Amino acid sequence: MQGGEDIQLLVFRLDERPYAVELTRVRKVFRAAAINPLPSGPRVICGVLNMRGRLVPVADLRLRLGLPPRATALEDRFLWVRADAMDLILTCDSVDGVSIFPRSTMLDGAEIPERPPMLKGVVCLPDGVLYINDPDTLLNLREKEELAYALAEHDE
């Protein structure tokens, strides 16, 4: 992640830890809603939401990031993001807002040994580290195939 330009990140929290996704990926931030089950979907997909007449899968970031499970609360937020030629809704506890960082302050995820697959990069903050997630890598190939099958089955 080199270059002189700035990057805009939407910062959100899970268990009080800051995470982010590039703002260009975010379609909408909204209050948590009831999720419709998708029984045959991959484990990381906790269901679907009807968004403007389309079923959009809801991904459990806690599961993917190895955080303890927690029931969705009314004050939680959902992030509707564009990921790898599809839309996903990501669960989070809260949203801090948009932050702008110079790309030069970011460490590319590829430079981090034993990094989680979703980690695109990090920014060092005065009070810790901001983990930047890559929605494109949230689902592996098998999970994408399972999701496509489950969505097709759900439409029948």
Q: What range defines the domain where residue 104 resides?
A: 6-155
Note the pLDDT tens digit of each residue in 73-120: 889 999 999 998 899 999 999 999 999 998 888 877 666 666 667 788
Evaluate whether residue 139 is within a structural domain. Answer: yes
Evaluate whether residue 20 is within a structural domain. Answer: yes
Evaluate whether residue 129 is within a structural domain. Answer: yes
Asked whether the beta carbons of 103 and 4 are under 8 A apart, the reply is yes
Total domain count, the chain: 1
Distance CA 50, CA 89 (A): 11
Evaluate whether residue 25 is within a structural domain. Answer: yes
Q: What CATH number does residue 98 fall under?
A: 2.40.50.180
Evaluate whether residue 12 is within a structural domain. Answer: yes
Distance CA 7, CA 4 (A): 10
Evaluate whether residue 1 is within a structural domain. Answer: no
Evaluate whether residue 63 is within a structural domain. Answer: yes
For the chain, give the DSSP string: --SSSEEEEEEEEETTEEEEEEGGGEEEEEE--PPBP-TTS-TTEEEEEEETTEEEEEE-HHHHHTPPP----TT-EEEEEEETTEEEEEEESEEEEEEEEEGGGEEEGGGSTT--TTEEEEEEETTEEEEEE-GGGSS-HHHHHHHHHHHHHHH-
The predicted model scores a pTM of: 0.89
Q: pLDDT-based confidence at 1, cuts 50/70/90?
A: very low
Is pLDDT of 71 > 50? Answer: yes
Mean per-residue pLDDT, 14-19: 92
